Structure formats: C-alpha cells, structure tokens
Chain A
Amino acid sequence: MFLQTWFLPFALLVTATMVAIPLSGYMAWIMDGKYRPVPVFGWFEKRLNFGDQNWKQYTVSLLVFNTLLFIYGFIILSLQPRMPLNPRHLGMLAPTTIFHSVISFMTNTDLQHYSGDVNFSNFSQIFFCITMLFLSAAVGLSALTAIIRALRSDKSVGNYFLDMWRVLVYMFVPTAFLFGLLFLQQGSPMTYKSDYQVATLEPAAMGTTPDGQPKLQTIVVGPVAAFESMKMLGTNGGGFYGMNSAHPFENPTAFSNFFNTLAMMIFPFSLVLMYGRMLRKKRHAWVIFSVMMVLMIGTIVWAVHFDTQKPNPGLTAHLARTYQVLDASAPGGKRTVSVPAVAGLPVDQHWGNLEGKELRFGTPAGATFAAVTVDVTCGAVNAEHDSLNPIAALSPMVGMWLNCIYGGKGVGMINLLLFLIIGIFIAGQMVGRTPEYLGKKIDARVVKLAIIALLVHPLMILMPTGLFAGTSWGLKAETNPGAHGFSQMLYQFSSASANNGSAFDGLAVDYGFNNNSSAPPTARQWDIAAGLVMLFSRYLPIVAPIAMAAFLGMKKSSPFSAGTLRDDTMTFGFLLFGTIVIIGALLFLPAAALGPVAEHFGPIPFGG
C-alpha cells in the first residue's frame, strides 16, 4: 500500500532530476551559443540575429512579438468558420471567449473557458493552439536567459529572436517529437481527420433522431499526440479535449500518464540547473533546486496524504454538531445552531477519495498530478480538482500562490529570484553588510522592481476574487455556494494570475459559440476579468525582473570574502524557504481560511 501510494511521486521526482542534470547542460550550451549550427540553420541564424540587444531592446522585442502573437491568435480564432479542416462546421466563437483564449494561450496559461473538442476545429487546434504551445513557452525561457546574461554583466542580454529560435529549434522540437512518438505509440490519435461517427454498442445510447433511428456517437480526433507532447513539455496545460489529460486519447495509459507528468517537469527542473551553469554558480543553483524540491515534495505529500489516504468526507458519517454564531439581533448577541447528524454511505473508502479520478492511472496519480501541475505552472489536469478533498485542494492552491516551485518556463525561476532578492535584502543584512546578490549591491531601484513584480500576484488574485465574491458576477457563476463556491472563484483567479491554467471547475464560465443561447449569465465578465489578470500577471513579472537584473548587472561585483553572505549553503536554503513561505504563502491565509479550510472543518454537507 505504501509503495503503491508513494512509488509514482518518488519515481517522477527522481527521473525528472536525473533528466534535468544532462538536459540543463545541453540547454546552457545552446543558449550560450557554443554549438555549431548545420549550414542551413547557420545561414538563417546569421540573418535572424540582427545584433546584440540591451535589456530595453530585448524587452521591447518581447512585447512586440507578443502583441503580434495576440493579433495572430485573434485572427485565427475569429476566422474559424471560414477556415479549412472544419468538417463539423463549427461556428463563430463568442468575442469574449476569443479574447480570453488568445490571452490564455499566449501567456502560457491555457485556462480554457471553452471545450476543445466541442468548440475548436482542427485548424484552430493546430494553427492557434499548437503554435501558441510552442511560442508562449519559448517566451518565458528566453526572458530567463536574458536575465541570466544581465546578471552575469554580459555586454548584451542577447538577441530575443535568436533566443526564441534556439529554444524552439534545439529544445522544444526534438523533445516534442520524442514525446509525441511515445504518446502515439501509447494510443493517442494523430490525424487531420476531425471525427468518427460510430454506432454505440448499447442501442440508442446517444438518443434517437426524429425518425426513430439511433443517433451515432461523434468521437472527435485530431493531431492529439503532437498537441499533447508540447502541451506538457511547454507547461502549457491547455487540453485538446475539455477533459484534458483525463481523456483516454490525450493520456491513454498509466505508462503515458507517467510520461505526461514527467514531460511537464523536465524543463522547469532543468532551468534551475541551467541558471547555475550559465552563471557558474552550480552549488547555488542546487540550493535553489533543493528548496524547490522540498516545497514540491510538501505539496505532493499534502495532496496525496489528504486525498489518496483519506476518505471522501462527502460519503462518511458525521455526528450532529451545535455551533454558536454571532448574531446581533439574537438575545445575548449569540445564536445556537445545530447541524443534524449525517449517516455515511456504505462505500469502501480504503483507497481514499476516488471521486473524479481516472483509476487506470492508479490511485495516487490524480493527487500527484494535481500538485505537480500547479508547481510547474502547467495546468493540465488528469483528475477533477473540484472533487479533491477540501483540504487536499489547498495543495494546488498553495502551488499557484507561491508560483515558484520550479514554476513555468523560465518564469518560475524568475519568480524565485524575486523572493530571493527580497529575502536577501531583509535577512541578508544580518551578516552585517548591505545586502548583495552575486556580489552586487541590492539598492533601492533593484528592490523596487522586485517588489513591483512580487506585488502583482496577490493583487491580481485577491482583488478580483473579492470583487466577484462580493457581487453577482461571482455568485451567479458558483455551482456550489458557500466555502466551496468561494474556493472555485479563488482557484480561478489564482490559476489565471499564476499563468497556470488548471481549473477547479464547477464555475459556470464557458461561453463557447457566439450563438450559445444557454450561455452562463456572467461568462463574459469572467472572460474579461481572467483575461486581464493573465495579461498583467504575465508581462509585469517578466519586464520588471529583466530591468532589475539589468540594474544589478550594471553594478560592480564585490569579491567574495569571509564576511559575505554565502548563497550556496543550507543556511541560505532556509533563508530562501522562510522567505517564500512567510511572504508567499501567508498572504493568502485569510482567503484560504474562508475557502478550503472552512470547508474542511465545516459540517457536511457544507458548501459542497
């Protein structure tokens, strides 16, 4: 039992680390331009690299590229009815759905307010989704490279377009090809065909046509294997199907599930080590790696322990309870309320909470995947997060709140840098020197940029959640009122702000086609709000850190001495860990108390 529960997470962490060690070396080698390109590529790279850029030019290139990406995505999705590869004649999407989806995919979030198999043609899946899966992931990685070069005080932070090319051609395409073949072998479809019409085994299982004939089942297919590999490798997470990695075509077997999970881990793991290699601070990188590892183990253990090893409280018996609530109108200002006893259902809960899990992956696969997918900011899901035990659902939320447990392509490491700078600034002074990182003094300008980038995240999660929780925009979208409904809203904005893209589900936010007469009443508000949150939470925390690194890099580097704060020791690890936990997680404690914590301690059925 112990082995069955813990083997999967253990094997994943070990394998990902083993892959990351050589892969990070390869990545550093590529990004430092030490390779010799094959002639055709060399010719192209020479033309692509129009010169070294300073941080401002690099940032402008990045932003211009993303603006073009937005325009491109908007056009592709708007033209869906007029484009080929659409034999099902899927129609026009709602404008807010397009707005939300374009931002979602371009920011590497992949929060989906639509269902891929229902709303998107294969043309949209290929030319919008798959294109974005590659490009958006490359953006974050390029930004991190620029930051590393700035921190090394290189003459230039590199060329944005050359970086994008290197990431895409030398890293993403080969790995995606490899994983694509693997998923293909395991049973994922790979075709331009749109769907199969099949007769169901049970007659008329899909209902009957007006003339009495049994309806055929439509089974949507497409280039799933290719989609799936980059969805995971690029920590995108937006599924080809609405069911995402729980769908048997996206993730057919327990074996494919292992590689599905592994695929989203390898690049985030490697990036931390690449950071160390490129800066020539390997030990320092391993300290950061270890802190992230401890946090990741923490989130996995928390999720698995409270979900796979605990019963679903909705099915167990509960005693009657009485509570005193404050009520100014009642005598004495207090009112006693009793909650009746609930009889348990005769269900074997030996294997924990199985609600919303795909059992072909094994029992701990859902909780493990849930923790990993938020830690690395992927956002793919292979289980229903809405159905996790309430307190277990805290694990994915914490992962998104911290947003730096390995984190997404490049941005996870960037976020960690912000915590690191703030941590050094506050506690690093305790060695009796003005705070410095990599020998460079952290002055007011640097710390200001770090704080701005760090501030965006709580702002973009808590303010919109408050807004929607306090108005009908949120109340009308909740499918479960109370603490659980609140968790759904909190999760939605956490996912948007962390550029994660996983959904708690259960919120009525999918508008879909423009002519959808039964669209949820506040889907538009959610589209726009979540879209804006993703936008701000993506670009501010990329631009500000690039500037921060540039300002740091411009400073003279003071040499290491016995009195300097060492950044490659366990003590430093504790400093970093403490900063992340106290500053990153505690900000969200009040909100957590009203959501998952209230649901966990509350009576059943309460809010769920």
Chain B
Amino acid sequence: MESSSQVKLDRITVEEHESAGEQPRPPRRTKLKSMWTAELGKEAVKEAFRMLRPDIQWKNPVMFVVEVGAFLTLLYVIRDAFTTAPQLVPISYFIALDVWLFLTVLFANFATALAEARGRAQAESLRRTRAETVAYRIREGDGELEQVPSTSLRSGNVVIVETGMVIPSDGEVVQGIAAVDESAITGESAPVIREAGGDRSGVTGGTRVISDRIKVRITAKPGEAFLDRMIALVEGAIRQRTPNEIALTLVLSAFTLIFLIVVVPLWPMAWNAEQYMASYLGVSGVLKSLGTDVPTLIALVVCLIPTTIGALLAAIGIAGMDRALQANIIAKSGKAVESAGDIDVVLLDKTGTITMGNRQATEFLPIGKYSEAEVARLAALSSVADETPEGKSIVNAARIEVEAPPDATFVPFSAQTRMSGVDLPGGRSVRKGAPDAIVTFTTRQGGRIPEGFEALVDSVASKGATPLAIADGASIAGVIVLEDILKPAMPQRFERIRKMGLRTVMITGDNPLTAATIAKRAGVDDFLAQATPADKLAYIRKQQAEGKMVAMMGDGTNDAPALAQADVALAMNAGTQAAKEAANMVDLDSDPTKLIEVVEIGKQLLMTRGALTTFSIANDVAKYFAIIPAMFAGTLPWLNAIDIMRLHSPTSAILSAVIFNAIIIPLLIPVALKGVRYEPLGGDALLRKNLLVWGLGGVIAPFIGIKLIDMVMVGLHLVH
C-alpha cells in the first residue's frame, strides 16, 4: 500500500507536466494532390529509359532477363531484315514482339521510377512544411531587419527572435537572455533559460521563445536540422531492400531460372518433333515450327517468368514507406515498416492512448461525522488554487461555489509531502493527498484514523479508481474518488486490433488493482502496472524471448531503452531527442494511436507483395495455353486442340500473351502504390479472400485478357 500510493502521486505529477506542455494540435496531412501529376510522370519516363542501362537493370534480375531477351530478339530482327530466304512468319511479327519486349522492361522501370519520384516528392513536401517559419534576419552591411523564410538562412546569419516566435534554425545566442520552451524537441514543458556566452547559449530550430528577446547566430546549414536528417534517411532508405524483399527477389530469380530450364530444352524437343513430322508426312526438306524459333522461345520465357511482380516489387516497397510518410510517420528504414506487419504485441501507454489524459473526480465519500456535502466543500476548498486538471475536476465535481477567505494560504503540492491544500485563517488546515500521506499528516497532529478508512480506500482502489484522502486538521473527512475516463470507442478499437491478431498491453504507473480494472473496461489483453523503465524493458525482452514481435510508442528519455529494444518503436515528435534517436519511427503528429496505423501499413505492404506474386505466377496457366499450341501447331497441327482460347493464329496468340504480360504492369501500378486493402478478418478468412481474388483471379484474368487482345488485333487487322 505504501509504495503503490507513492507511485500514484508521482504519476500525477508527471501527468501535470504533460498536460501543461502539450497542446492538442490538428493532424497535419501533407497529401499530394494526385498520383498522376504530369511532372512526376515525365520524370519517371525519363528515368525508365535511363534504367535500361545494363548495370542498373542488373539489379532487377527478372527484368534483366527480359532486357537480354529483347536485345537478342533485336539481333534476329536485324538478321531477318537482310535475308531474302522465305520466312516462316513475316518480319512484322518479330518487330512487334521486340517492341513489346522492350515495352515490358520500360513499364517495369516506369513503375519503379514513379514510386521513387512520388516518395521523393512526399519527403520534399514534408521538409518544406517543417521549415516554413519566418525569420527576422539582420542584413549584413546596413544592419536592417529583413523578413526571410527560414529555409534561406545560411550558417553565420544573425536573426532576432522575440517573445512568441519560433527559433528558425539551430544556432547560438550571441546577445540577450530568454526563456525558451523546448518541449517540441525535448518533451519537457518547463521553459529553460538560454543566454549568450557559456554552456547555455545553444538553441534549436523549432523551439519557441516565451519571454524576452535574443539575437541568435545560425550555426546549421540549411536542411541539416534533426528532422531534415531523418527525412534524408528516408530518402536513402527508399533504395534499400528489406529482408523479405531480398528473399522474394531470390525466389523470383529462382523462378526465372526454373523457366529457363523449362524453355531451353524445348528447342531440341521441338526439333525432334519437326524431324519426325517431316518423315511422317513425307515432306521433303525440313519442317520448321515456332518451337525452334528463338524469338518465340524468348517470348515464352518472358511470359512465364514472374515479370509482373518483378516489375512492381521495388514500387511496392517504396509505396509502403510513402504511405507511412502520408500518415506523417517517418520511418528510418523500410525494414521497420515491414516488421510492423509482424507485430504480435503492442505496448500502449494508458494515459493519452486508452484514457483521456487525466483523471477526474467523480465521487466524494464521507467518513465518520462528515457528510458528503462537507467532504465536497473541503475538497473544493483545498483545490481552488490547484491548477492541475485533477484539481479543476474536483472543483467542478463539488458543484458548489467556494471562495477561499482572502487571508488563506495555499500549500502547493510537493514531492516530499505529497499533499496540497490550504491553511485557513484560524489554524484550520485542509489537505488532500495520497491516503498514506494524509494518515501521516493527521497522526502528527494527534488525530486518530477513523474506523473503516482503510477499507474505504481499498474499495475505491479495487474499483480501479484513485483514492485521495481529505484531512480536516487532525481528522480525516473522507475520500475523493478520481477515475480514469476512457477515450470514446476504445473497446471497439481493441476488438479490431485483436482481430488483426495483436495482443494489446497497457502500460501504466497505476497499481495492479487499478490497472486491472481499467484494462478490463478498455478491453486490452494484458497490462503492466507500476511500470518503471526497467520493467518495460524486461517485459519486452520476455515477449521477444517467446518469439513475439513487440511494438511500442514512447516519448520520454526514460522510454529510450525500451524503444531501442522493441521491434517497432514509434517516438512522438514532441518527445525527447533520446526517444527519437532510439525509435525506428517518428510520428510527427505525436498521436499515440498511430501505432495501429503503422501495423496496418506494414501488413498492407506484405499483402500487396504476396498478392501480386501470386497473381504473377497464377497468370502462367493461361499463357501456357496460349503459347504452347501456337509454338508447336506449325508441325503438329492437332495440338490446336489444347488452344482452348481459340486464338486467331499462332503469331497472334504469342503476341497477345506478350502484350498482356506487358500491359498488366502499368495496369497494376495503382495497386502496387495504393496497396491491397487490409481488413482484420483473421488469418484464414483473409487468406481465403486474397486467394480467391489474386490466385483464382490470376488464373482467370489472363484467359480473358489474352482473348480480348487477340480479338482487338484481329479487328484492327494488325495480324493476319
């Protein structure tokens, strides 16, 4: 009992700080107007051609194979252009084939380039909003003040900052002294003194002067402040592959190899059939089918290897980071976003996340000779000068007008006494505070503990509320019940999280009893009561030892070790520098519920990858049925029986398959960038749904697509 109430009071003081320092700020969304701005498109097209360079294309093994195939086909086109011997198929077929092979590569490069350009633009716009503050610079030479955007400040410039203004960039005070609110950077709401000369001359961009006027010499170069560095990190991370992406690239390369193994021996196999057919049909000379035609074999390889996902893989990863950026979350690496999808346990701070920031008085319980109204009056009296949210809520809950006599002295809260109150004229002193502190207070004055007091305190605590005792001089008058108010719709929200397969753990400084009650009311799975930084760290380690992935959100310096240990650590931008350095993501909105959004972004990223890979491989079924009969029907005409799509001719069949294979890439770019929508349906239902859409759909769609392309080509007389 002793130690728990200690923590309770400490906790109150922390909350006082938080609520004083943090103003609710509107969520800031830096959305791009459209995915298809002409500028982005133009840039991406240019980049797509540049990426044709073999040393760049090589990084995407699947598309590299397509590029090699396209160049090989080009050689065949050139050879055929200079030959006069009769050809199996017109040269226009080879030209069309080659054009579409190159287009396949270009579409793939375009997808990557577009996603990169979008990511860059997003980061850039973020950086702009960060830096759009006005600075008053002292012009060199005449010393006149001029108004300039903070972005144009150079190292060595001197600016004037007055009360209420934001310091435009990192620098040092060269003249004057001021109180500076650094809560935006450090999370500490108490203003600090910054003055010229000595250790306390450094100021940080983004902090606010709350009194006086200082002259600051800027020391940071433009774009090198903390957030700028983070954003730069993001831009660098865009090109880094995540572990899962590396594994998938490996699988896709292996599939490419497997399909090369399938197609290469087709040449001698088809040759074998041609030899036999020539003798069987009594044809003099050699029969030739498209089965021994190298460009056609290349077309088959290109259609079978997973080009769709090979083309979109990089774009999916970049788009994942991009979605995080849109939610105003800066992830230090793509790996962090990807891991978010795997999170098993989410640690959430009770305050601000699950409950409204502060406790409110809901009830006054009298004891002994006191009545409820008297307790309310005493409570209100002791809180009149108390500016903390709890204090105000006590005055509100008392619902009576109290005015302290003019000569009353207010006793503020102190960590030693753990009480606050008022000394009325006439020696009557009213105190409210932690029950054990009040007990000490009254007994020291010779008072007695009324019967039933301890039971009353326990019963309040057991309901999950916080008891504050009221002392009226030497006697205890009663207990104020302070209760946590749940944020609206929290149980529904946790239900959704549970369906995602996540366990929620509430972290609180409350005692286990209180914590258990709130946990039950809110619907979280577990709680960590009286949590010290060491407890949090130990809890995370324990979960990780069980194979679980842990996500947490933090803001204070004492959260840093736990943040560093967690698999996904989201620091609030309003938090301390240490927390932000330890975390692998920073939320610019400082919204504690963002963690859930991060998990969904991670899941969406993985789902999109899986869906498009499945789609890509399922597509092969239809392509086989389009190309195989077309390849061999030249010599084995009855194989047309397996041409179940009834395509116009062998060449139109092969071209249709290649064209479908190419245009499916740009068609799926929106899916890659937006991501497949995540719904918390549970693993099995989600898999069923996606298998139907992307697996079965992937089998069926190309049958329809290839047939349509064939019909269009016939309708336009493009094939004969």
Contacts and interface: CB of A to CB of B under 8 A. Distances in A.
A427 B695 contact: yes
Given A427-B691, A470-B267, A583-B617, A563 B611 contact: no
B682 to A, nearest CB: 5
A451 B262 contact: no
B258 interface: yes
A516 interface: no
A164 interface: no
Interface stretch (A191-199, A235-243, A329-337): A329-337
A590 interface: yes
B473 interface: no
Nearest to A484: B276
Contact of B273 (A328, A558, A594): A594
A458 B266 CA distance: 13
A265 to B, nearest CB: 30
Contacts of B636: 483, 594, 598, 602
A430 B611 contact: yes
A237 to B, nearest CB: 26
A455 B254 contact: yes
Contacts of A227: none
Contact of B254 (A333, A451, A559, A565): A451
Q: Which of A422, A432, A590, A594 has the most CB of B within 10 A?
A: A432
Interface in B620-662: 620-621, 624, 628-629, 631-632, 634-639, 641-642
A497 to B, nearest CB: 12
B261 A598 contact: no
Interface stretch (B325-333, B404-412, B445-453, B499-507): B499-507
B688 A571 contact: yes
Contacts of A564: 501, 683
Contact of A434 (B254, B342, B632): B342
Given A451-B254, A575-B691, A434 B500 contact: no
B184 interface: no
Nearest to B339: A434
Contact of A325 (B342, B545, B637, B676): B637
A34 interface: no
A96 B226 CA distance: 73
B318 interface: no
A500 interface: no
Interface string A283-296: 00000000000000
A518 interface: no
Contacts of A575: 687, 691, 695
Interface stretch (A47-55, A87-95, A403-411, A439-447): A439-447
Nearest to B268: A470
A431 B269 contact: no
A427 B607 CA distance: 9
A325 B287 contact: yes
Interface in A467-486: 467, 469-471, 474-475, 481-483, 485-486
B243 interface: yes
A466 interface: yes
B414 interface: no
Contacts of A597: 639, 642
Contacts of B246: 444
Instruction: Summarize A's interface: helix, strand, loop or mixed.
Output: helix
A332 to B, nearest CB: 10
Contact of A430 (B87, B268, B546, B690): B690
A553 interface: no
Given A426-B617, A582-B618, A586-B624, A601 B606 contact: no
B573 interface: no
B14 interface: no
B703 to A, nearest CB: 14
Interface in B290-348: 290, 300, 338-339, 341-342, 344
Contacts of B614: 426-427, 430
Contacts of B244: 429, 434-435
Contacts of A589: 624, 628
Contact of A329 (B243, B285, B341): B285
A444 B250 contact: yes
A275 interface: no
A345 interface: no
A455 B258 contact: yes
Indicate the size class of the contact surface on chain A. 35 or more
A455 B265 CA distance: 15
Contacts of B100: none
B345 to A, nearest CB: 9
Given A326-B287, A469-B269, A601 B639 contact: yes
A429 B613 contact: yes
Contact of B687 (A422, A454, A571): A571
Given A425-B247, A430-B690, A565 B632 contact: no
B265 A465 contact: yes
Q: Which of B88, B258, B620 has the most CB of A within 10 A?
A: B258
Contacts of B499: 562-563
Contacts of B261: 455, 458-459, 462-463
A277 interface: no
Contacts of B263: 590
Contact of A561 (B264, B266, B501): B501
B281 A337 contact: yes
Contacts of A281: none
A258 interface: no
Contacts of B285: 327, 329
Contacts of A337: 281, 283
A561 B503 contact: yes
A435 B338 CA distance: 12
B686 A432 contact: yes
B250 A557 contact: no
A587 interface: yes
Interface string B494-518: 0000111111000000000000000
Interface string B418-437: 00000000000000000000
B271 A470 contact: yes
B257 A455 contact: yes
Interface string A540-564: 0000000000000000111101111
B632 A598 contact: yes
B603 A333 contact: no
Contacts of B620: 582, 586
B606 A590 contact: no
Contacts of B500: 562-563
Contacts of A458: 258, 261-262
A593 B642 contact: yes
Given A439-B547, A582-B620, A323 B637 contact: yes
A241 B620 CA distance: 44
Interface in A556-592: 556-559, 561-566, 569, 571-572, 574-575, 578, 582-583, 586-591
Contact of A462 (B262, B603, B606): B262
Interface string B685-706: 0111011001100000000000
7 contacts: A466-B264, A466-B267, A466-B269, A474-B272, A564-B683, A565-B683, A594-B269
Given A431-B683, A563-B500, 16 more contacts: A323-B638, A328-B87, A329-B285, A333-B87, A427-B614, A430-B690, A432-B607, A434-B606, A448-B250, A458-B258, A469-B271, A482-B276, A566-B687, A572-B687, A601-B638, A602-B638
- Closest 3 pairs between A and B when the two form their complex, measured CB to CB: A563-B501, A466-B265, A470-B268
